[in-house]
Structure 1
Amino acid sequence: MRHRDTVMGLLLAGLLAPQAQAADSAAPLRFEAAPGVHVQAEATEDGSIAVLLSPSGRRLTLPGAADAEGNSRLSAEDVDFDGRPELVARASVGMVNEAVAVYRFDPASGGFRALEAETHGRDNCGSLMGLTVDAATRTLTSSCRSGPMWYTDQYRFAGTKLYLYRSEDVLRLGDALDAALQWEQTDEQGPLAVWRTHDAAGRVLESAIGDGLSAPASGEPLRGQQATVLPARLFLFDRPGAASTKRYLVQGDRVEMLDEQDGWVKLRYRNPKQGVVEGWINVND
């Protein structure tokens, strides 16, 4: 199932966090950001957000997520899963993308802070585009389209810190991979991509190669695409760039595709006698 279909299924199942309140084009958005702190927010003509806090009477101006006409849609959604809603601005950009800005109330300063994620430069969308909030798995999903390809970034919280939890890198190996491995492809399947799970420090915990248009289920281990070895012998190296090896796979061996690095693809083979064997093949050789 593609990402968009997954999101629709979650909405119908009631698993995505509901909006506390969404503002229409005329009425300001009103919600309680913290006990006793009431917020009135309204999108202005220049694309910013005018905020009035009560009972303090403090006024704030926040950057919005405006479309070409300066319009943005405001809502109050519990994005960080603390039981209180955040101020969310959404706007259509281009033909299919949606820009999103999220602001969390900061009791210490009495104002709002933009929600930003630690990505270590591994995200595809650059911000929380097309944001969906899955309360069941406490995961935020950002999706965007560039050219013919849809991309997905998934985020989680470590305490109050938002970090990139899962990312994807689309494989660009062309016919080289097709000459080494064969796998089942359907009309619904997109290009292959490496999905990686990260911890809050940016370390890669696991990786697997799968459908680039179908985000893996959040919270479940990654599973790689199954494939069959095509050459009579396919040499298996300990690491990318290694010069020699005594290990090899043979035609017909079934493998799981795990990772890619500079034209080298990591495979997992379950040997009936030796158990699980992992190694790298050079698909450009």
Structure 2
Amino acid sequence: MNFDWFVVPFSVGLIGLILFLIFKYTRWILSLSKEERKKVRKSFFSLTLFKLVWEIFREALLHVRIFKRNIVLGYMHSSFAFGWFLLIVFGAVEVFFANSPNSNHLYEPIFFRFFHRDNTGMEYRVFFSFIMDFALLYILSGLFLAFIKRFYSRLMGMKRTTRLFWTDKVALYSLWLIFPLRLLAESTTAGIYSNGGFMTNNVGVFLSGFLPLENIMYPLWWLYSIDLFVFFAFLPFSRYMHIPTEMILIALRQAGIYTKNKITGFSQMEINACSSCGICIDACQIQ
């Protein structure tokens, strides 16, 4: 069985987040009128479903509207959303091709390099190693831009950025740490077992020149898992609630649900679907 205790923080955080979101979204959707809920049900059994999937792909993953406004910001947002999407999808497919008899765990694609240290016999090993490293590099490039935006927003063509609550800051910095920690955990593992790709193998070789990889590899996987737990725990109470909520909002709008002159579950979704990226504040004439 592919299990280690360091997967527990990630697993607890993810399951807790999923349960919270199910409760929250169910509550909001049930607050819709009977007619609105009927529209939602009908939309899932019509041709609008394909339009919905395409709209979610364009706006929740690629952030096309932000691209049109600011190419650099669009790239930054899409690198996190689409890059993480690539890691999840190809990670799941990679586990499938690894032919692991115990590959039905939520955590295995996330910690694949730890549990599959000898992947020399795996089909399409080179392809998966490349695409996973490429997706991680894609995200890290966006992370670099996010750092610039947060502290040097004028370099990104913005006069100001949003002010963050403390929960936003915890979620933000834990999100920022996820991918460097993944890089370090996978690279130290690759430095020992040579099971990485073009980036993690080379970083591992570099780190092996001055660090005891055998001693730091396991703690790094723990830190990676704990950081994921922190992000999942704070996501519902931060601006990053927009990540799952905007997909639900797009679905409701495609079903013909619109804002009314009172606070409803739909208006709550609209509020939570805002990423607080600062673009609207930057353009506001009364700020």
TM-score range, shorter chain: under 0.3
Instruction: Please state which structure has a larger fraction of its residues in strand.
Output: 1
TM-score by length of 2: 0.25
Higher RCO by CA contacts (8 Å cutoff, separation 6 or greater): 2
